[in-house]
Structure 1
Amino acid sequence: MRYQNTQMIRIRGARCHNLKNIDVDLPHNQISIVTGVSGSGKSSLVFDTLHQEGQRRFLENLSSGTRQLFSQAQPVAVDQILGLPPTICFDQTQRVQSKRSTLATLTELYDLFRLLYAKLGIVHCVNCGRALHQQTPEQIVDLVLALEDRKKVMILAPVVSARKGNHSALLNQVAREGFVRARIDGAVIDITQPHELPEDVPHDIEIVIDRIIVKEGIQSRLKESVDLALKQGGGTCLISHQIESGWSDRYVSTRLACGECNLSFPDPEPVTFSFNSPHGACPTCEGLGIIEPSESESGQICPDCQGARISQYGRSILLNQQSIDQVVQFTAPEIINWLDQWKAGEAQGMSLQDQVIADQIEPSIRKRLEYLTEIGLGYIQLSRPSKTLSGGELQRARLTACLGAGTTGACYILDEPTAGLHANETQKLLRILQRLKQAGNTIIVVEHDHDVIKAADYLVDIGPQAGAEGGKLVFSGDYDAFIQHPESMTAQGLTARFQNSPQAHRSKTSHEQFVQLTGARTNNLKEISVKVPLQQLVCVTGVSGSGKSSLIMETLVPAIKSELNRRPNPALQYDSLQGVEYLQQIKIIDQSALGKNGRSNPATYCGIWDEVRKLFSKTKTARLRGYTARRFSFNSAEGRCGACRGTGVKRIDLKFLPPVFLPCEKCHSKRFNRGTLSVTYRGKTVSDVLEMSIAEAGEFFESIPRIKRILQVLLDLGLGYLALGQPANLLSGGEAQRLRLASELFAPLNGMTLFVLDEPTRGLHSHDIECLLQTLNRLIDAGNSVLVIEHHPQVMCAAEWLIDLGPEAGNAGGYLIDEGPPALIAANRRGATGRMLYELIGDSVDD
């Protein structure tokens, strides 16, 4: 028994949403997993109760003026929470809206790199590329004294650089100040004597401050000469020492300046490398890296910075021959290798002071890079925009930032951190969670993954079903007791063995039909060729970054679209495509958001709301008042609440926190005005209908066939727990994807369509995955084809054909490891997927 009773977070009387007034304890400094079927109440307990209370307590410590903004906020629906540490939440919501945010800035690595380059970077002239070194007068003196004994040295002050004219006035002024000699165009002359320079030729003039021989006892004289040279040269001087072939010059300066180009530069600061500041951003693109498109044009890479985002000066500062914008083009393992090269080479010659600085900054950078690699993001370039990261990638990137910060005594709340991870990579994530725990933090994870559940110190199962049938505490305790619990559907799923049972009952075509892609080489793909059988469930798998999206979303899908539309796309990187004649269309069902605001919801997206509005407009009250169906739309000014404009909430923007949404004081989140809410259908207002779950609405509209049919499809996909009015921008990626899939099922299925889904099991319990597989089989039985990018073993085992990519991520991936039926992949055991499948279905394979 791994769990021992320690100090607890004690939750009493939690009743948010469908929670049934439950009491539950969660141990401090342990990893607790909250699980249950989709819609059982996990998020209501962890995010809407526990984390919301943590936020409320934080806000209570703000100034009184700020607290007044939250006076309208509804209290957490719980009697009491004791022992709650500060909460840090990592959900999968894409809150990053800034176009400038990247993986480097999200993980705070870019801040460390800016500091490193500001302190240790070598400035190069933006014109000639010459390295510029800034030195103190004392360092310049030491430079001369370091020359061999009896060496002849001249201390020179440059006053003219490559400038035309006879410069007689300047030379006369220098002579009046008591100087006798100057070096003009490389020759030392006596300036007390008349000397005419040709006016149409550029000249270099340096005042000879002193001529000395290196020996003991010259330090005091040398210091005076250097100080005078720096004064006459405006902070710069030349140290010229005699060699066999003449004289060798070394340009030194107390400021950053190029004597050749007569250019000076400010001292580098961290802001010099910031593309969020006018001091560091490229002035042409304002730090975006692209020129923003107009309505009629598409965006293009900035012609000045070529996508680097920072100014020319920032790009001129190098470390180990790389500018900061070049370094962030690397992945984490590549940057670690770059740091190793720097420490073995350039860093060896640093001063003691610079070495101290390097020893303070470099380990912090290296630690975060190692975390990125361990957490499964080592294949992503640090310059990757945050908005292009998946929910799982985004959550793990945020987790890396916290790991690097070394936070202790906090309560970390994570929402399915294994999303997007191959089962082979889950152990990496678990090691990261263990580190957080060992640092003295409490970890609470909402998760379905079997490996994560098995590794937990403490388990809480909410259920037993979804919606109204859920919200109860089914179990709390350790894994050994949990696995034997008879009422837990999660425990049943853990003990169930996945069956390798592709749909043998399916009637096959007279000849095998498939799409064949040859020579795919997009991104990291190594000119691979794959076969996608049609009218089957085909699963593409492999570790994160192995090339799955490059193969399917960036090569196969656009290639098929190009063929179907008969518009060749020469930009696609493959050799040939066969079998498209078996398809009529291709439909992509991904996890992108259904809408950017709170107006779109499941009811509007699936077309139910139009039917509901018609029902309300036909009621006796509506007909007497002349209300049409338009009146019952929250987008219509005549029927919606005027204060919140039909959203039900008011947005408060804070500079130091994400926006806060508070209930509308006028309509109390009902979204409609008083006149509209006075109309009822079977005792319910339109606002009541929006608050119904899909399962409740299915019973309420049982007698309305057009609505009932749509709701049944949603129920079959495991979405019965969702409220009809759930804002689309608050739906998870998996929920949005299943709504898209449902919309395809509403229409008659004519066959010859290829459906492509990207990780459709995200957020699903094993029980719900079975419902999803049944729905996908309906599509296939109707003559369609289904291609999924998926990591879940349950889907792999149910597939009829697997395409496994790898073996690793990034440049180490992009190979076709194996393809064929799951049993064959398991028998071959050629990669991580094959070995995992062998453990799951090995008995049936051996038989």
Structure 2
Amino acid sequence: MSNQNESYIRIRGARCHNLKNINVDLPHNQLTVVTGVSGSGKSSLVFDTIHSEGQRRFIENMSPGTRQLLSQMQPADVDQISGLPPTISIDQVQRSQSRRSTLATMTELYDYFRLLYAQLGTVYCSQCEQPLHQQSAEQIVDLILKLEQRQKVMILSPLIKAKKGEHTALLNKIAKEGFVRARVDGVVIDVAQPPELQENDYHDIEIIIDRIIVKEGINARLKESVDLALKHGNGTCIVSQEMESGWSDRFLSTRLACGRCSLSFPDPEPRSFSFNSPYGACQLCQGLGVIEDDSDKEQTCPECQGARINTYSRSVKISGSSIDQIMSQTAPGVLTWVETWENNELKSYTTKDQEIASQMIPAIKNRLEYLCEIGLGYIGLARSTRTLSGGEHQRARLAACLGSGSTGACYILDEPTVGLHASETEKLLQILNRLKQSGNTVVVVEHDLDVVLACDFLLDLGPQAGEQGGEIVASGTYQQVIQNTKSFTARALNTKFQFNRSNTPDKDDIDEEIVLTGARFHNLKDVTFKVPLQKLVCVTGVSGCGKSSLVMDTLVPALQNAIKGSHDQSLEYLSLEGADQLQHVRKIDQSPIGRSGRSNPATFCGVWDEIRKLFAKTKIARIRGYTARRFSFNAKEGRCAICQGQGFRRIDLQFLPDIYLPCRECKTKRFNRQTLSVKYRGKSVSDLLEMSIDEATTFFDQIPKVSKVLRTLKETGLGYLALGQPSTMLSGGEAQRLKLATELAIGSTGNTLLVLDEPTRGLHAADIDRLLNLLRRLLQQNHSVLMIEHHPQVIFAADWIVDLGPEGGEAGGQIIDEGTPEEIALREAGPTGRMLNRAL
């Protein structure tokens, strides 16, 4: 267990995956950065050893039933870890795939707003939109007593409102109960001589409970009359006072009701605003905000217009805004609304209501400020978390943790700078330092040189990937590490950026280009976007400036439609020129390579089909009649029947991340015993799946169809991956590089535009050089490369840069500069230009 007196997390004998029995001490209450080339063992140490042990210790404190369920959870392969505080992992895996999860719910902002609206919200009639107020009988009496002295008042009990009929029976009933007068259609009558009412007309009938003159000494009589009126009026009454122009009515109720529309409403409570609850969710879309049409396409719910909550929930307002209207804004907009309401209107609330607000407003403002500081101020609070990038998802969870104000924990982060422009990294560092100053230990897996420079303790693993990694190459302060000549990280830190002039075009030399005119999607402001062909083009800019809207959401689908000879009217642009110069457009993003854990690098790049054929040709396979299908985990006859070829079974912990336990039947082998008994060159199919790409490249060097693809994967820096590594265990960056390498290995016919989204994610500076070499090879094949990227190393190597901005959200959506890296650095027109200039 953790010893609070220790000043370090002491790790002894860590052997997980490729770790070579390493020993290391990580300081408490400091910022530690773990770096190294891809596959060097960073995640094995930080996530699979430190966090895994922290999770195991947490589970030890659960109920016996839960512990028994998780008894198969393998402990971390380490001799000892001491001084370990509770661990909180904030990685880029979007564990919550719920369609109901939003940025507001993830950061707990929505929970605070639900409480705020339940306690302080004013209910408006859903028909006439008049505010409704509740009063107790005592409050109604006090209200009448505050009228001017000698004021004539009638207290009435409403029975029917705008209802057809003669109502003879009702009037007779009023008389039998001892009442003398009633008001029918605004006229006072004697109930002993009721008027004849037209059956087909609408009528209003109220009992006149009492007629009084406001003066001292009527308290008891007034209380009795009000109680009687509320009793007969089902919790409602009318106080009518005589004015110069006639009698003026005021409808009062001990419950939420509209006398004008004869509608009553329940008291608001937190669940009234939850789209996860039947009490708050829109019935048509069931709280999703969208419905599927006949063609299975999602469209905005016509009932709630995407608000997710029902009519009643939308009728509760604070300062004229419903909760869904607040959630539709970004963090800066909501922060402004909260401060305006707090400063101008909250003062008019009762002391009790102000006290309630004071308990919630600080927590709300803190979370909103953290979202702004961490670079997510451009995202609407109602945005689904399924649409967030890995970096955005991680920073949103970080904002939630900051808002909780926890201390004494060990926060573990996986590349939190992903998706951030270099100019925004400083904001992230301020957040990490705030966590540290609050008494927390922060351990970050990161390659960003600015984060490395700012750390208190730097741990560099390597020297290379896979079996050639897993060792501590250097450790200590930044100054200590950069002196180590064996460290790839030290070399990167000591290398000065320079321009790559080998393929840099002048404006007059650009003959072939794509020109997209009038792009207006999301925050784009009538943008004209020019993409030189057969060049390495980099689109950059701060978070939320419109890069993805321009490239992924507008240009790519427009080009794909143009190549097919079609046009999508929903795309928001005016014209597209130059598409006839392309034959293919390949979008290579960071989405998973498969929908199930059975997908892996071998199946994705196509080599597994060739390997299965080799197994089918073995002597034992031919004797048994096994075809290549037998060696697929999608075939029932060959795979393990218990885990269905997954090798693991997933345990849903609900409030914790899912865990994967080894299959009790095949012990992660994936196939049944009969299939595993077939060997190719002494290896079973499971043995081959466990091979790294580096090992497999050597093993299959005599099989051209396999070795060509594997060599390309190795050259991309993916040699450390196992052939059978489940797609669910690949990072977004690994998935993207796998797609890129497969594209390069298979090769596209004709002119192809390859579009990449942050391909350097997860890459060390040494790996980025490999990536750039691969991209140059594609250019030599007369293809074109367009990428969204923030990394200075790539921006310096680009042939052409398009810089969007100047800021995120509505303050962005414009091209602020374009040209060669030298021109961008010289002009310093935006954050990218200033960053390039500083880096030089």
Q: What's the TM-score once normalised by structure 2's chain length? A: 0.96
What is the CA–CA distance in structure 1 between the aligned matches of 2:234 and 2:448, rounded to whole Å? 67
Residue type of the alignment partner of 2:259: G
Kindly indicate whether residue 720 of structure 2 is the aligned counterpart of residue 721 of structure 1: yes
**1:487-546 CA deviation, whole Å, 9 max, x = no partner?**
211121112111111424899997621112222111111112122111111100111100
Question: How far does residue 345 in structure 1 lie from its aligned partner after superposition?
Answer: 4.5
User: What SS is found at the alignment partner of 1:497?
Assistant: coil
Q: Does structure 2 conserve the Cα–Cα contact (< 8 Å) formed by 1:751 and 1:782?
A: no
Worse overlay, 194-203 or 135-144: 194-203
Q: Does structure 2 conserve the Cα–Cα contact (< 8 Å) formed by 1:126 and 1:313?
A: yes
User: What SS is found at the alignment partner of 1:557?
Assistant: helix
What is the CA–CA distance in structure 1 between the aligned matches of 2:343 and 2:177, rounded to whole Å? 49
Correspondence for 2:206: 206
Residue type of the alignment partner of 1:256: L
Distance 1:449 1:510, change over 3 A: closer
Correspondence for 2:111: 111
Correspondence for 1:531: 530
Worse overlay, 750-759 or 827-836: 750-759
Kindly indicate whether residue 829 of structure 2 is the aligned counterpart of residue 827 of structure 1: no
Correspondence for 2:426: 427
What is the CA–CA distance in structure 1 between the aligned matches of 2:91 and 2:611, rounded to whole Å? 33
Where structure 1 has 5 or more consecutive residues not aligned to the other structure, the ranges are 842-847
Distance 1:117 1:511, change over 3 A: closer
Correspondence for 2:737: 738
Residue type of the alignment partner of 1:449: D
**1:212-265 CA deviation, whole Å, 9 max, x = no partner?**
333444333332222222112111111222333222222111101111222211
Q: How does 1:569-608 map to 2 (within 5 A)?
A: 569-608=568-607
Q: How does 1:32-51 map to 2 (within 5 A)?
A: 32-51=32-51
Correspondence for 1:240: 240
Distance 1:750 1:9, change over 3 A: same
Question: How far does residue 642 in structure 1 lie from its aligned partner after superposition?
Answer: 2.4
Question: How far does residue 306 in structure 1 lie from its aligned partner after superposition?
Answer: 2.1
Correspondence for 1:31: 31
User: What SS is found at the alignment partner of 1:717?
Assistant: helix
User: What SS is found at the alignment partner of 2:754?
Assistant: strand
Q: How does 1:330-479 map to 2 (within 5 A)?
A: 330-479=329-478
Correspondence for 2:262: 262
Worse overlay, 504-513 or 752-761: 504-513
Q: Does structure 2 conserve the Cα–Cα contact (< 8 Å) formed by 1:184 and 1:203?
A: yes
**1:753-791 CA deviation, whole Å, 9 max, x = no partner?**
111101111111111111001101111111111100011
Q: Does structure 1 conserve the Cα–Cα contact (< 8 Å) formed by 2:713 and 2:742?
A: no
Q: Does structure 2 conserve the Cα–Cα contact (< 8 Å) formed by 1:93 and 1:730?
A: no
What is the CA–CA distance in structure 2 between the aligned matches of 1:516 and 1:479, rounded to whole Å? 45
Correspondence for 2:281: 281
What is the CA–CA distance in structure 1 between the aligned matches of 2:674 and 2:168, rounded to whole Å? 93
Residue type of the alignment partner of 2:799: E
Q: Does structure 1 conserve the Cα–Cα contact (< 8 Å) formed by 2:753 and 2:785?
A: yes
Question: How far does residue 751 in structure 1 lie from its aligned partner after superposition?
Answer: 4.7
What is the CA–CA distance in structure 1 between the aligned matches of 2:521 and 2:316, rounded to whole Å? 33
User: What SS is found at the alignment partner of 2:717?
Assistant: coil
Q: Does structure 2 conserve the Cα–Cα contact (< 8 Å) formed by 1:802 and 1:822?
A: yes
Question: How far does residue 194 in structure 1 lie from its aligned partner after superposition?
Answer: 4.2
Residue type of the alignment partner of 2:406: T
Question: How far does residue 303 in structure 1 lie from its aligned partner after superposition?
Answer: 2.4
Distance 1:511 1:317, change over 3 A: closer
Where structure 2 has 5 or more consecutive residues not aligned to the other structure, the ranges are none
What is the CA–CA distance in structure 2 between the aligned matches of 1:511 and 1:141, rounded to whole Å? 83
Worse overlay, 329-338 or 207-216: 207-216
Residue type of the alignment partner of 2:697: G
What is the CA–CA distance in structure 2 between the aligned matches of 1:225 and 1:345, rounded to whole Å? 38
Residue type of the alignment partner of 2:705: R
What is the CA–CA distance in structure 2 between the aligned matches of 1:505 and 1:677, rounded to whole Å? 54
Correspondence for 1:182: 182
Correspondence for 1:230: 230
Correspondence for 1:135: 135
**1:94-116 CA deviation, whole Å, 9 max, x = no partner?**
21221111111111111111111
**1:629-667 CA deviation, whole Å, 9 max, x = no partner?**
233222223322222222211233344434332112222
Residue type of the alignment partner of 1:85: P
Worse overlay, 690-699 or 766-775: 690-699
What is the CA–CA distance in structure 1 between the aligned matches of 2:427 and 2:130, rounded to whole Å? 45
Residue type of the alignment partner of 2:575: S
What is the CA–CA distance in structure 1 between the aligned matches of 2:428 and 2:597, rounded to whole Å? 33
Q: Does structure 1 conserve the Cα–Cα contact (< 8 Å) formed by 2:503 and 2:799?
A: no
Q: Does structure 1 conserve the Cα–Cα contact (< 8 Å) formed by 2:117 and 2:270?
A: yes
What is the CA–CA distance in structure 2 between the aligned matches of 1:621 and 1:200, rounded to whole Å? 93
What is the CA–CA distance in structure 1 between the aligned matches of 2:263 and 2:402, rounded to whole Å? 43
Aligned residues with identical type, % of pairs = 64
Distance 1:53 1:215, change over 3 A: same
What is the CA–CA distance in structure 2 between the aligned matches of 1:195 and 1:432, rounded to whole Å? 76
Q: Does structure 2 conserve the Cα–Cα contact (< 8 Å) formed by 1:100 and 1:276?
A: yes
Q: Does structure 1 conserve the Cα–Cα contact (< 8 Å) formed by 2:504 and 2:820?
A: no
**1:284-330 CA deviation, whole Å, 9 max, x = no partner?**
22112222356x44233222222222122112212222221222111
Q: Does structure 1 conserve the Cα–Cα contact (< 8 Å) formed by 2:562 and 2:579?
A: yes
Residue type of the alignment partner of 1:785: S
Distance 1:759 1:511, change over 3 A: closer
Q: Does structure 1 conserve the Cα–Cα contact (< 8 Å) formed by 2:545 and 2:806?
A: yes
Residue type of the alignment partner of 1:465: Q
What is the CA–CA distance in structure 2 between the aligned matches of 1:537 and 1:8, rounded to whole Å? 46
Residue type of the alignment partner of 2:548: S
User: What SS is found at the alignment partner of 2:308?
Assistant: coil
The alignment yields a C-alpha RMSD, in angstroms, of 2.0
Worse overlay, 617-626 or 552-561: 617-626
Correspondence for 2:328: 329
Residue type of the alignment partner of 2:11: I
What is the CA–CA distance in structure 1 between the aligned matches of 2:746 and 2:13, rounded to whole Å? 44
Distance 1:405 1:712, change over 3 A: same
Worse overlay, 356-365 or 499-508: 499-508
Q: Does structure 1 conserve the Cα–Cα contact (< 8 Å) formed by 2:52 and 2:75?
A: no
Correspondence for 2:770: 771
Worse overlay, 315-324 or 734-743: 315-324
Residue type of the alignment partner of 1:248: S
Question: How far does residue 426 in structure 1 lie from its aligned partner after superposition?
Answer: 1.0
Question: How far does residue 812 in structure 1 lie from its aligned partner after superposition?
Answer: 0.7
User: What SS is found at the alignment partner of 1:112?
Assistant: helix
Worse overlay, 353-362 or 770-779: 353-362
What is the CA–CA distance in structure 1 between the aligned matches of 2:77 and 2:681, rounded to whole Å? 29
What is the CA–CA distance in structure 2 between the aligned matches of 1:560 and 1:316, rounded to whole Å? 44
Correspondence for 1:163: 163
Residue type of the alignment partner of 2:837: Y
Distance 1:276 1:194, change over 3 A: closer
Correspondence for 1:844: none
Correspondence for 2:555: 556
What is the CA–CA distance in structure 1 between the aligned matches of 2:220 and 2:733, rounded to whole Å? 76
What is the CA–CA distance in structure 2 between the aligned matches of 1:249 and 1:620, rounded to whole Å? 98
Distance 1:588 1:183, change over 3 A: same
What is the CA–CA distance in structure 1 between the aligned matches of 2:510 and 2:598, rounded to whole Å? 48
Residue type of the alignment partner of 1:169: A
Question: How far does residue 193 in structure 1 lie from its aligned partner after superposition?
Answer: 3.9
Distance 1:749 1:305, change over 3 A: closer
Residue type of the alignment partner of 1:614: K
**1:120-157 CA deviation, whole Å, 9 max, x = no partner?**
11112222222211112222222223333433322222
Correspondence for 2:799: 800
What is the CA–CA distance in structure 2 between the aligned matches of 1:790 and 1:400, rounded to whole Å? 24
User: What SS is found at the alignment partner of 1:277?
Assistant: coil
Question: How far does residue 176 in structure 1 lie from its aligned partner after superposition?
Answer: 3.3
Correspondence for 2:498: 499
Correspondence for 1:84: 84
Residue type of the alignment partner of 1:421: L
Worse overlay, 643-652 or 706-715: 643-652
What is the CA–CA distance in structure 2 between the aligned matches of 1:623 and 1:225, rounded to whole Å? 99
What is the CA–CA distance in structure 2 between the aligned matches of 1:510 and 1:88, rounded to whole Å? 53
Residue type of the alignment partner of 1:563: A
Question: How far does residue 628 in structure 1 lie from its aligned partner after superposition?
Answer: 3.0
